[in-house]
């Protein structure tokens, strides 16, 4: 009879533990990246009052089963559904990320490495990417915008730092002209040239305008020359631009008789460093319509444009975890990449609070440097968060069953107590 009391008490304890877990699951139903836990029970020891016996030919008796009395229930496991994916919540925030796959973000808190599924990140005052509890998001970084990522060591990801504020300028190496030249243009009727400016960058990112004059020699032939170098509207003393050539059109087609490329040279200053610029005129025409000729930096394919010093305007994270900085000169450079960790047994990770897990002997070791998420077959969803994988319907069902189990075990205790009372009353 005392055994039933102890069995009832053990049942109360495990059902209370299960209710604690259910309560924690429900309380975190809206926690980003939360992974629900599940409780399983196992039976306790058995008291064997008679062992099993086999048939006995000598005594002409059959075999008997063992006689065992159970001693209650115990807690078998509290397992975490680490691989169960939660719902998607779109936030459109640039630093919110969801992992598609079974990998984990790597974070560093107080010098210790942890892992999380919660991708609600933000930028701190120093430009570091951090969790909502201030843990650093780890990955691979570049020393300068566009430089190779250092994948041999994990470092805190920085979405803003002085070394990433600017990108290097580059000198213009090509230019082109497009459009039409009308042989009856009013400028030609007044014996004046058509003037257009080619805007180029030097090696330090300063922009200059080179005035180009196109003069009519005949109905099919035009001369090209330069007329000064300008900074804004001011003529730059000491800088000389040279580009001389002839454009000859086919009278029957209105197209250039041959591809025409001229070299533009700018000289006169040690501080101005730019190689000869190849200027392509091959796509201009001479038709009987308005004059529309104009110039542009770079080739027709957009190569060799040159650029000014870039100033960072925004930062975002792509599906590969690359931290991409955009600059006002058109540059888009990778300054870092978020790393992920995978485990042979993710269910073996240990919860440490604040949506973080720690590696254990049963989860498998962390290699210390993580990996590119593309190598895991996964990806990131920018502007999306993975919510809790708690299923309220399941939790409420488990709650009812657990409550009834608790009540039933309570009834075992009260019934056993009543029986003991009856037994004691026999003496009286």
The verdict on residue 109 lying in a domain is yes
Q: By the 8 A CB rule, do 18 and 419 touch?
A: no
Residues 249 and 277 in one domain: yes
The verdict on residue 136 lying in a domain is yes
Residues 326 and 282 in one domain: no
Residues 346 and 379 in one domain: yes
Residues 266 and 219 in one domain: yes
Could you say which of 262, 297, 332 is where a domain stops? 297
Enumerate residues 6+ apart whose C-beta is below 8 A from 246: 217, 221, 222, 223, 224
Residues 369 and 264 in one domain: no
CA distance 159 to 323: 7
Predicted pLDDT of residue 274: 67
Instruction: Give me the residues paired with residue 294 across strands.
Output: 178
Domain that holds residue 194: 174-297
List the CATH number of the domain containing 215.
2.60.98.20
Could you say which of 265, 297, 329 is where a domain stops? 297
**For residue 368, how far is the Cα from the chain centroid?**
20
Residues 232 and 197 in one domain: yes
Residues 278 and 319 in one domain: no
The verdict on residue 305 lying in a domain is no
The verdict on residue 38 lying in a domain is yes
CA distance 124 to 206: 34
Residues 154 and 186 in one domain: no
The verdict on residue 303 lying in a domain is no
Q: By the 8 A CB rule, do 95 and 129 touch?
A: yes
The verdict on residue 304 lying in a domain is no
Pairing of strands 37-43, 261-267: unpaired
Residues 240 and 179 in one domain: yes
Q: How many domains does the chain have?
A: 3
Cα-trace Rg, the chain: 39
The verdict on residue 404 lying in a domain is yes
Nearest CA to 200 out of 323, 324, 297 is that of: 297
Q: By the 8 A CB rule, do 116 and 353 touch?
A: no
Residues 140 and 153 in one domain: yes
The verdict on residue 306 lying in a domain is no
Q: What is the dihedral of CA 240, 278, 293, 198, to 10 degrees?
A: -40
Q: What is the pLDDT along the chain (428 residues), one digit of tens a residue?
A: 577 888 889 999 999 999 999 999 999 999 999 999 999 999 887 777 788 888 888 888 888 888 877 788 999 999 999 989 999 999 999 999 999 999 999 999 999 999 999 999 999 999 999 999 999 999 999 999 989 999 999 999 999 999 999 999 999 999 999 999 999 999 999 999 999 999 999 888 989 999 999 999 999 999 999 988 998 889 888 888 999 999 999 999 999 998 799 999 988 765 566 678 999 999 999 999 999 999 999 999 999 999 999 999 999 999 999 999 999 999 999 999 999 999 999 999 999 999 999 999 999 999 999 999 999 999 999 999 999 999 999 999 999 999 999 999 999 889 888 888 888 888 66
Predicted pLDDT of residue 267: 83
Residues 104 and 186 in one domain: no
Could you say which of 268, 297, 326 is where a domain stops? 297
Residues 200 and 280 in one domain: yes
């Amino acid at each position: 009879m005392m055994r039933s009391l102890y069995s009832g008490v053990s049942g109360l304890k495990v059902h209370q533990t299960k209710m604690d877990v259910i309560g924690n699951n429900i309380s975190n139903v809206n926690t980003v990246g939360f992974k629900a836990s599940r409780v399983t029970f196992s039976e306790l020891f058995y008291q064997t009052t008679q062992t099993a016996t086999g048939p006995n030919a000598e005594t002409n008796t059959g075999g008997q089963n063992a006689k065992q009395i159970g001693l209650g229930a115990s807690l078998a496991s509290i397992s975490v559904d680490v691989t169960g994916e939660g719902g998607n919540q779109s936030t459109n925030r640039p630093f919110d990320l969801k992992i598609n796959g079974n990998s984990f973000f790597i974070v560093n808190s107080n010098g210790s490495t942890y892992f999380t599924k919660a991708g609600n990140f933000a930028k701190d005052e120093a430009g570091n990417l951090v969790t909502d509890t201030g843990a650093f998001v780890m990955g691979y970084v570049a020393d300068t915008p566009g430089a190779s990522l250092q994948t041999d060591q994990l470092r805190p990801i920085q979405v803003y730092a002085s070394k990433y504020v600017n990108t290097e300028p580059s000198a213009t190496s090509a230019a082109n002209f497009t459009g039409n030249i009308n042989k009856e243009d009013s400028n030609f009727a007044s014996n004046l040239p058509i003037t257009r400016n080619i805007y180029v960058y030097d090696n330090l990112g300063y922009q200059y305008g080179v005035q180009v004059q196109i003069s009519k020699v005949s109905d099919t032939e035009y001369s090209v020359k330069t007329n000064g170098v300008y900074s804004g509207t001011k003529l730059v003393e000491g800088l000389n631009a040279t580009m001389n050539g002839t454009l000859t059109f086919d009278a029957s087609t209105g197209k250039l008789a041959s591809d025409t490329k001229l070299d533009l040279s700018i000289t006169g200053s040690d501080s101005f460093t730019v190689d000869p610029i190849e200027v392509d005129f091959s796509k201009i025409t001479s038709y009987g319509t308005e004059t529309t000729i104009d110039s542009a930096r770079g080739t027709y394919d957009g190569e060799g444009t040159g650029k000014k010093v870039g100033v960072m305007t925004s930062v975002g994270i792509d599906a590969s975890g690359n931290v991409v900085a955009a600059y006002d000169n058109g540059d888009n450079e990778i300054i870092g990449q978020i790393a992920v960790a995978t485990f042979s047994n993710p269910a073996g990770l240990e919860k440490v609070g604040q949506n973080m897990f720690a590696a254990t002997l049963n989860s498998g070791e962390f290699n210390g440097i993580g990996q590119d998420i593309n190598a895991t077959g996964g990806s990131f969803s920018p502007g999306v968060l993975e919510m809790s994988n708690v299923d309220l319907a399941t939790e409420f069902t488990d709650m009812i069953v657990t409550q009834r189990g608790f009540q039933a075990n309570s009834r075992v205790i009260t019934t056993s107590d009543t029986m003991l009372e009856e037994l004691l009353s026999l003496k009286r």
